[in-house]
Structure 1
Amino acid sequence: MNTALTTRPALLADLPELALLFDAYRQFYEQASDVPAAQAFLQARMTQAESVIYVAQVGGVGPVLGFVQLYPTWCSVEMACTAMLYDLFVSPDARRGGVGKALMQAAREAAAHLGAVRLDLSTAHTNTRAQALYESLGWRLDETFRYYTLRV
């Protein structure tokens, strides 16, 4: 990938491109494609300041190559702000070019800017390529706690 790879906060003007990437991300997790709903979801998160989204581009122009989305939250045990890195996606044609690494670094900086003491994420057990990236950047697999979910 070109050394002029840059990351920046997503803008509302990015929504059409960002929604396509977000839709592809959701399809990776076996959800039905729905670009209009993806765009509406992202727009709501952005306009209500409920998440932090960064995008990657070459030189800050051209197509959006990928995105990362964080949700600020709180940890009662640490009595501190934490951030959940919920979404990371790189366009298939931009993979293996440092885009994911650049977005992960942007996520770390964004979490620090939020005052978060920790950045958390979860991923599919089968997503070994992403796991290799996370571990190469110093992330550690939590072997203390189990993660549960309940549909309501």
Structure 2
Amino acid sequence: MTQVTVREAVISDIPQLKTLMLTYIVDFYQYRQPEDEKLNALIHELLEQKVGIQFVAETEEGALVGFATLYFSFSTLRAAKIAVMNDLFVVEAERGHGAAAKLFAACKGYAARHDYAKITWETAPENLRAQAFYDKMGGDRGHWLTYSVIPTSGMGD
């Protein structure tokens, strides 16, 4: 079992973090690979910590084996800031050894230190391993349905 330390991502993490994010996006969720400049822009935006923050799980040897992303938002119902945990990913070889729990704790600790009212997240219905993990972490399954739409612009909108 590899010991990992969780910390905020820094600029020197970009090459490894980008590889992890691509593994998450393309291999794990089987989405198409984002354009390189868009992924770079997202990582840099998160490093500025204005719209969100990323945490990384690092081995003693300096290898990044996981990451978690919080995006900052608001809840009108709570009239307060909330954090949206959009990602929590650990490479297959390191799952079940505590890296995910440390990443989750880092997100929770950050939200507490910065007076966020709550952290929300979602996971795919078929991702039963993640659901079991979130149940174990004390997460409450919500009763809200998630919708999405792809915005389009057109004449006369």
TM over 0.5, yes or no? yes
Question: Aligned residue for 2:10?
Answer: 11
**Which moves more between the two structures, 89-98 or 43-52?**
43-52
Q: Where in structure 2 are the equivalents of 1:99-114 lying within 5 Å?
A: 99-114=99-114
Q: How many residues align?
A: 149
Q: 8 Å contact 1:54–1:67 — kept in the other structure?
A: yes
Amino acid at match of 1:96: G
Amino acid at match of 2:132: A
Question: Aligned residue for 2:132?
Answer: 132
**1:8-44 deviation digits (Å, cap 9, x = unpaired):** 0000110000001111111122212347343332123
For 1:50 and 1:123, locate their aligned partners in 2 and report how far apart those are by CA, in whole Å: 21
> CA offset at residue 63 of structure 1?
0.1
Q: 8 Å contact 1:24–1:33 — kept in the other structure?
A: no
For 1:112 and 1:53, locate their aligned partners in 2 and report how far apart those are by CA, in whole Å: 16
For 1:47 and 1:13, locate their aligned partners in 2 and report how far apart those are by CA, in whole Å: 14
> CA offset at residue 69 of structure 1?
0.4
For 2:128 and 2:107, locate their aligned partners in 1 and report how far apart those are by CA, in whole Å: 20
Q: 8 Å contact 1:20–1:35 — kept in the other structure?
A: no
For 2:49 and 2:140, locate their aligned partners in 1 and report how far apart those are by CA, in whole Å: 32
For 2:31 and 2:105, locate their aligned partners in 1 and report how far apart those are by CA, in whole Å: 27
For 1:94 and 1:48, locate their aligned partners in 2 and report how far apart those are by CA, in whole Å: 27
Matched residue SS, 2:63: strand
Question: Aligned residue for 1:24?
Answer: 23
For 1:147 and 1:35, locate their aligned partners in 2 and report how far apart those are by CA, in whole Å: 26
**1:57-116 deviation digits (Å, cap 9, x = unpaired):** 134x51011000000110011101100000111112211211111101111011112210
TM-score (norm 1): 0.90
Matched residue SS, 2:23: helix
Question: Aligned residue for 2:65?
Answer: 65
Unaligned runs of 5+ in 1: none
Per the alignment, do residues 48 and 104 of structure 1 end up closer, same or farther by CA in structure 2, a change over 3 Å counting? closer
For 1:119 and 1:91, locate their aligned partners in 2 and report how far apart those are by CA, in whole Å: 23
The two structures, once aligned, show a CA RMSD in angstroms of: 1.6
> CA offset at residue 146 of structure 1?
1.6
TM-score (norm 2): 0.87
Are residue 146 (structure 1) and residue 145 (structure 2) matched? yes
**Larger C-alpha radius of gyration, 1 or 2?**
2
**Which moves more between the two structures, 47-56 or 99-108?**
47-56
Per the alignment, do residues 76 and 34 of structure 1 end up closer, same or farther by CA in structure 2, a change over 3 Å counting? closer
For 2:146 and 2:32, locate their aligned partners in 1 and report how far apart those are by CA, in whole Å: 25
Question: Percent identity over the alignment?
Answer: 28
